Structure 1
Amino acid sequence: MQGKRILYLMLGWFSLVTGIIGIFLPLLPTTPLVLLAAWCFSRSSVRFHTWLIEHKFFGPIVRDWQSSDGIPRKARNRAIIFMWIGMTVSIFIVSRFWATIGLITIGFCVSVYLLRMPIRSEPPSSADITNTNGNETAVPDTLKNSEDKDGTS
Structure 2
Amino acid sequence: MHPALRILYLGLAWLMVGLGVVGAFLPIMPTTPFLLLAAGLFARASPRLEQWLLNHPIFGASLRLWREKGSISRRAKTGAVSLMATSFGLFCFFGNPSLKLAAIVAAVMALPALFILTRPAE
TM over 0.5: yes
Aligned residues: 120
* Residue ranges of structure 1 left out of the alignment (5+ in a row): 121-153
Alignment partner of 1:109 is 2:104: no
Please list, as runs of the form range in 1=range in 2, the aligned pairs for 1:2-151 lying within 5 A after superposition. Answer: 2-68=3-69, 70-97=71-98, 99-120=101-122
Contact (CA 8 Å) 2:27, 2:83: kept in 1 or not? Answer: no
- Cα displacement (A) at 1:104: 1.0
TM-score, normalised with respect to structure 1: 0.66
Distance, in Å, in 2 between the alignment partners of 1:112 and 1:27 is 17
Partners of 1:51 and 1:7 lie apart in 2 by 19
Which structure: greater helix fraction? Answer: 2
1:44 is displaced (CA, Å) by 1.4
Distance 2:21 2:75 in 1: 24
Partners of 1:105 and 1:99 lie apart in 2 by 10
> Structure 2: 5+ residue runs without aligned partners?
none
Shift, 1:84, TM fit: 1.1
Paired AA for residue 61 in structure 1:
S
Give the RMSD, CA atoms, in angstroms: 2.2
Question: Normalised by the size of structure 2, how large is the TM-score?
Answer: 0.80
Partner of 1:140: none
Specify which structure has the bigger relative contact order, considering alpha-carbon pairs within 8 angstroms and separated by 6 or more residues. 2
